[in-house]
Structure 1
Amino acid sequence: MKLSRTDVLLMAFCTGLIVANIYYCQPLVILVAQEFKVTESHAGMITYLTQAGYALGLFLVVPLGDMFERRKQILMITGLAVASLLLAAMSSSFLWLQIASVLIGASSVVPQLILPMAANLSSDEKRGETIGIITSGLLIGILASRSISGSVGFLWGWRNMYFIAAGICALLMLLMAKRFPLSRPSFTGTYRELMASMWHYVKTESVLREASMINFLAFAVLSAFWTTMVLFLANPPFNFQTMQIGLFGIAGAAGALAAPLVGKLSSGQNPRKNILIGLILQVGSLVAFYFTGSQLYLFVTGIILIDIGQQAIHVTNQTRIYALIPEARNRLNTVFMSFSFVGAAVGSAIGLWLWDKGQWPVFCIGTTAIILLNIFIYKFFSNKVRN
């Protein structure tokens, strides 16, 4: 079976709505802190616990997509997401919300099962474009999640956002059960052999190592920003409410528009140059953030730059690893995305730590240092990989 344009758009739609589960919590941190009477930086733990849960799910669950039928696996995991979101909505203490956050992250890995499914069903010349379109859906879901959750939290409270998300996932289960194609597993060994094979690919595939390391640091920068910007905008000189903070997610829509173009470029010769462009855009974003002061146009400019830069890095790297070993795409994606979201969890923690050390100026300096380290890694691998 080959994917039609409608199939690709449907996968992008489902990917965006499910990945949103990971990011609903970010604009809600202030409301959670108020209800459970903890500091805002302490309440921010739910952001990196959700990302850590996502990394755990990537590592333990996503490889099974090479071993079991993917549609059935997708439906089962989405059902677990519904239960985890309901647990968060009904949490009686901050501890229960932390536990629910880990479970929400672990059960929101469905996009990383959809992407290899789409890659397998796409022709070589269309694969980068398909990945770019689905990644656009993913990014739009991330951006919309922050805007929607900020508004819902402001109007009806943070718990209702989790109830709504559970309802959305339940409806998606029905849609995916009806429309998603069946897949044939490509791995016939044991789970232990499946997991061991991933380490073999890490040792033997230099492109996978480079892409994973670069994505680790790129996701750390992006996640540090989206976690810390809530504190920046909630304090003087802005003193914004959660609904106003959530609306800034819309500014990143330029990144979503850029993803299909990056996908097309990533299918051509020497796609690796897109990574350096993305890293330079990230540096530019941090310069804009550092000099924002009370000038919001610089802040919005920085959001656009950091999201376009992230798409250039992520879509290019994902297209590169999918071209390596077709029968092992779920396992390659597991390694790649596990590194990415461990980086996201580490980045959120670092962002909060930098904020406590010196608020926004120290955050900007610290994250710029991470990007410069990433550029060094890119240069280090320049003579070790071809594209």
Structure 2
Amino acid sequence: MTFATGVIIANNYYAQPLEAALATAFGAPSSAVGAVLTIIQVSYAIGLATLVPLGDLLERRRLVVVMLSVTVLGLIVVAAAPTLSILAAAGGLVGLTTVAAQILVPFAAQIAKDGEQGKVVSTVMSGLLIGILVSRVIAGLIAAVFGWRAVFLLGAGLTAIAVVALWRSLPVVAPATRMSYPRLLGSVFTLIREEPVLRLRMVYGASGYASFGALWTSIGFLLAAPPFSLGEATIGLFALFGVAGALAARFAGRLADRGRAHPATGAFLAVIAASFAVVALGAHSLVALAIGLVIFDFGVQGSHISNQSVVYALRPEARSRLNTAYMTSYFIGGATGSGLSAALYASHGWAAVCWIGAAFPTVGLLLWAAESLSRRRARARGSAAPRGVDALTRAAGPGAERD
């Protein structure tokens, strides 16, 4: 499952270090290529909202295999696309179906032992994060030698291997939910309405990933332009500085299992916002940019794992739908950051990207501070604690009172 999530999610990120190459190949402006990346993210969000809930309703192994077979076909069309519009349409199909990775993650939480959900989720998510990082490196290296189309053919081949591996190795687990598809989708909104913790974590996740989308959508343009003028291979290698994100995932998972998800969330959001003070210097210094990326990815992925660990603990029988609610807002945030970044970079440059990138986690941090104050007041009142704060304590798990 760890291997497969990495292979699957990589398909959504191959294009990011190839922005300049795609703009040249299709004679399109940077804003148009940025729009294609945004379409992929929006399609992923749509898939989260409409397809991931099926993980609670249908047999997961068969569902994942069917979805990924469509992904393979979409990647082949991307590789052969004669126009940017066809590439965008096929990329949207790929984004829609690669949400299969988000069916696997809550499945891993389901089969984990009690008290180890954070550890297991962080392990599977480490594969996913490494897939994101390696995808950019591979994309840059392959494009430099064989051209950008070969990158997506490689993605199709790796995804096909994952399909076979998952079919052979995944356990068959009967779904616990029986209801119509419309009711299934409607129950997602019921969960959002009834779970204040979920609503908070949706905002925290969206703010962090909006920042992620803002930075990584435009960094390729920054590195390809003077004074750096880097090629695709070198641009792709910059993703390796994000390996700190995979380390943060394991660290955040252990903190969540110990009931420390709440303070960890605030710390990680603060790290994201602060990292842009260094990332902004990257307009003139590759060393500063590299250091900023290490700090930035550590904060983003640590915050994400903290959020997931809390969300999956809310209602174990509805993990796919909880994941739908959380991840849909997460990727809507990413698409928002990506779209704003593409427009701002074209008009105001890297400094504007850094300002908007820092603004998103700052909003999340302010909400976290308000939540913390509410928790302290509720503890001071003792039995008068509101339902929302009680739910926060339950979801945080063992040791939550120490938070």
Q: How high is the TM-score relative to the length of structure 2?
A: 0.91
- Asked if 1:43 is matched to 2:33, the reply is yes
Match of 2:324 in 1: 334
Match of 1:250 in 2: 240
Does the 8 Å contact 1:128/1:264 carry over to 2? yes
Q: 1:293 to 1:27 in 2, by over 3 A?
A: closer
- Asked if 1:128 is matched to 2:118, the reply is yes
| CA distance in 1: counterparts of 2:82 and 2:347, whole angstroms | 31
Does the 8 Å contact 1:24/1:146 carry over to 2? yes
The total of aligned residue pairs comes to 377
Does the 8 Å contact 1:18/1:108 carry over to 2? yes
| CA distance in 1: counterparts of 2:51 and 2:356, whole angstroms | 33
| CA distance in 2: counterparts of 1:25 and 1:293, whole angstroms | 22
Does the 8 Å contact 2:214/2:356 carry over to 1? no
Match of 1:26 in 2: 16
Query: Displacement, 1:216?
Result: 0.8
Q: 2:98 aligns with which of 91, 102, 108?
A: 108
Match of 1:225 in 2: 215
Match of 1:312 in 2: 302
| CA distance in 1: counterparts of 2:360 and 2:169, whole angstroms | 42
Does the 8 Å contact 1:150/1:242 carry over to 2? yes
| CA distance in 2: counterparts of 1:347 and 1:207, whole angstroms | 24
Does the 8 Å contact 1:277/1:312 carry over to 2? no
- Asked if 1:79 is matched to 2:69, the reply is yes
| CA distance in 2: counterparts of 1:122 and 1:170, whole angstroms | 27
Does the 8 Å contact 2:281/2:288 carry over to 1? yes
Q: Equivalences for 1:1-387 in 2 at 5 Å?
A: 11-382=1-372, 383=374, 384=389, 385-386=392-393, 387=396
| CA distance in 1: counterparts of 2:272 and 2:249, whole angstroms | 16
Work out the percentage of aligned pairs sharing the same amino acid.
33
Query: Displacement, 1:355?
Result: 0.9
Query: Displacement, 1:144?
Result: 0.3
| CA distance in 2: counterparts of 1:264 and 1:126, whole angstroms | 9
Which digits, 9 at most, give the CA deviation of each residue in 1:102-122, with x for residues without a partner?
101001111111111111101
Query: Displacement, 1:45?
Result: 1.6
Q: Which amino acid aligns with 1:303?
A: L
| CA distance in 2: counterparts of 1:238 and 1:180, whole angstroms | 46
Does the 8 Å contact 2:122/2:249 carry over to 1? yes
Q: Which amino acid aligns with 2:320?
A: N
Q: Which amino acid aligns with 2:173?
A: S
Classify the secondary structure of the residue corresponding to 2:98: coil
Classify the secondary structure of the residue corresponding to 1:186: coil
Which digits, 9 at most, give the CA deviation of each residue in 1:242-284, with x for residues without a partner?
1111000011111112211210111122411111111111122
| CA distance in 2: counterparts of 1:202 and 1:264, whole angstroms | 26
Q: How high is the TM-score relative to the length of structure 1?
A: 0.95
| CA distance in 2: counterparts of 1:160 and 1:320, whole angstroms | 40
Q: 1:262 to 1:24 in 2, by over 3 A?
A: same
Runs of at least 4 residues of structure 1 off by over 6 A?
A: none
Q: Which amino acid aligns with 1:100?
A: A
Unaligned 5+ residue runs, structure 1? 1-10
- Identify the range of structure 1 (230-239 vs 368-377) with the bigger mean alpha-carbon deviation: 368-377
Does the 8 Å contact 2:71/2:94 carry over to 1? yes
| CA distance in 2: counterparts of 1:18 and 1:38, whole angstroms | 28
| CA distance in 1: counterparts of 2:4 and 2:287, whole angstroms | 32
| CA distance in 1: counterparts of 2:163 and 2:360, whole angstroms | 39
Match of 2:385 in 1: none
Which digits, 9 at most, give the CA deviation of each residue in 1:259-316, with x for residues without a partner?
1121011112241111111111112210001223432221111111111101211000
Q: Which amino acid aligns with 2:83?
A: S
- Identify the range of structure 1 (80-89 vs 150-159) with the bigger mean alpha-carbon deviation: 150-159
| CA distance in 1: counterparts of 2:36 and 2:97, whole angstroms | 15
| CA distance in 2: counterparts of 1:227 and 1:61, whole angstroms | 25
| CA distance in 1: counterparts of 2:88 and 2:108, whole angstroms | 33
Q: Which amino acid aligns with 2:268?
A: G
Q: 1:254 to 1:335 in 2, by over 3 A?
A: same
| CA distance in 2: counterparts of 1:242 and 1:45, whole angstroms | 19
- Identify the range of structure 1 (257-266 vs 204-213) with the bigger mean alpha-carbon deviation: 257-266
| CA distance in 1: counterparts of 2:199 and 2:228, whole angstroms | 42
| CA distance in 1: counterparts of 2:276 and 2:27, whole angstroms | 32
Unaligned 5+ residue runs, structure 2? 375-388, 397-403
When the two chains are superposed, the root-mean-square deviation of aligned CA atoms in Å is: 1.1
| CA distance in 1: counterparts of 2:102 and 2:235, whole angstroms | 28
Does the 8 Å contact 1:151/1:243 carry over to 2? yes
| CA distance in 2: counterparts of 1:215 and 1:314, whole angstroms | 6
